[in-house]
Amino acid sequence: MKYNMIKIGLMSFVLFASTSCKDFLDVNVNPNSPIKENLSLNAKLPAALVTSAAYEATQLNLIGGLWGGYWGTSNEGISSFGSLKMYNGPAIRDTRDGLAVWESTYNNLFYYKEILEQAEIEDAKFYSGIAKIMMGYHFFILVDFYNNVPYEDALKGSKILHPSYESGKDVYKKSVDLITQGIEEIKVASLLPANDDVIFKGNKTKWAKFGNTLKLRALLRQSEVASQASYITEEIAKIVQEGSGFLEEDASVNPGFLNTASKINPFYETYYRNNSGVAVANYANIRPSQYLIEKYKEFNDPRLAQNYVSVNGDFNGVIFGENMIKDEYAAVNTSALKGPNENGNQPAGIIKSFNQSIVLISLAESNFLRAEAVERDWITGIASQLYQSGIQASFNYLFNVNNYNIQSYINQTNVNYATATNKIERIITQKWLSLNNINNIQSWNDFRRLGYPNFPNSVSSPVPNGYPLRFMYPETEINTNNQNVVSQGDNGVLTNRVWWDAN
């Protein structure tokens, strides 16, 4: 991977730290020398966390929205996102116009490595602990997209220009271990961050819960790999022994977004309105899939009207990958995302305000992860209650209340947990509805792992009934680390499975 590209990533982090949030506008740095000696940990940490969150809310949501069954495009957006709609791997990995998942993730990792190294020098264990947890978070992303990736040899800049690859399985294990180490460092830390921790404000227990929830997500990703059973049991025991439990609130990032260009909530600015209140192109181009609309209607789900705008008294979606001009798929005839402008200037469901927080892991997801783990007899608890709590958390978040009455919803035969013949499928289906537009990428991961829910593939797929299962290694890596890329085998298709995808 290119050292210069990593340096550019570092500079972008520094720029974000010094310009993006009202609480961090007064960082005293030399703008012509954005290197680690110029920045304290309490300037670097919020920059890294906000960039990770923006990445989740924009690029990862785009990929997961289209490949996770949620999104299609209107007539106005037919020419948009063509590589994703047609499962065009070479275009996705293209240096100029492709999706820089590899580069973005390693740039994020590089900056957390800088934080880690500085924190170790300063004996700032809370900061090194956060860095290790977030590095685990980003290494999971890389494996989920590419399978085998550089780990030990990565992030060393010019010291190792051609980093060797490690198996996705090993990287997952090392990332779980890294998060475990991060939790332990946070628990014994004496120097605590405050406002520069834009997630938990220096709360040790909440960071431990976040780390445990990340690990549970990673362990569940391996649920279909029979050879991992004993490893999963061992790691679950470590989580239980640690004792902090799992997230009991949304893990969300908010540094104090401003209604100013590039300082606004990135999801809001990318998919809804700019700082002048003008609708962005994606607001007309992106539409809910017909499958998503049908699922909401199947469950008589009030979240449909909370998230989307009706058209002539009904909600209309599009077919993913449809590239034919048809009036029924025009923006004016299909349901747009509902935001404050369409909701009497009040917060809507997914889109609430220009300064809303970005959710890294929602309380809803945490509850659904736990419900699945209980159903698999991995942890103790009552699966039906955790399932219901997941639904409750989703409704509370989307309706902006503390205790939305979900009783009539969960009493429906096709929602009620007790009536399910396949309880894992029921959990994942409700999880899928809850993650819509919040953490879309997790739904693509669940689909590859379990096949739930069974949304249709793109009608522009070059292979009938074919779904993409990974990304190809990018051209940046092929051009700079070709021998190691070639050693990974066939990089020419999107249908090679990552290691945990046993279906």
CA angle 231, 236, 238 (to 5 degrees): 100
Which among 319, 311, 277, 276 has a CA at the least distance from the CA of 294?
319
Q: Position 14: which residue type?
A: V
Which among 468, 487, 471, 440 has a CA at the least distance from the CA of 103?
471
Given a cut of 60, whether residue 12 has pLDDT beyond it is no
- Is residue 456 one of the residues assigned to a domain? yes
Domain at 434, CATH number: 1.25.40.390
For residue 149, the enclosing domain spans: 3-66+88-255+358-486
- Is residue 159 one of the residues assigned to a domain? yes
Look at 206 and 26; give whichever has higher pLDDT: 206
307, 336 in Cβ contact below 8 A? no
What pLDDT was estimated at residue 36? 53
What pLDDT was estimated at residue 323? 86
484, 347 in Cβ contact below 8 A? no
What pLDDT was estimated at residue 37? 59
Residue 330 per-residue DSSP state: S
135, 119 in Cβ contact below 8 A? no
- Is residue 328 one of the residues assigned to a domain? no
Tell me what the mean pLDDT of segment 327-339 comes to.
Answer: 97
Q: What percent of the chain has pLDDT over 90?
A: 89
- Is residue 343 one of the residues assigned to a domain? no
Task: Provide the whole-model pTM.
Answer: 0.93
- Is residue 303 one of the residues assigned to a domain? no
- Is residue 326 one of the residues assigned to a domain? no
What pLDDT was estimated at residue 78? 93
Q: How far apart are CA 171 and CA 218, in angstroms?
A: 11
427, 450 in Cβ contact below 8 A? no
- Is residue 140 one of the residues assigned to a domain? yes
Peptide bond into 453 cis (omega under 30): yes
Tell me what the mean pLDDT of segment 156-176 comes to.
Answer: 96
140, 361 in Cβ contact below 8 A? no
Task: Compute the 3-state secondary structure of the chain and give helix, strand, coil in percent, each to the nearest 5.
Answer: 55, 5, 45
- Is residue 431 one of the residues assigned to a domain? yes
**Structurally, how many domains does the chain consist of?**
1
What average pLDDT is seen over the chain?
92
What pLDDT was estimated at residue 105? 98
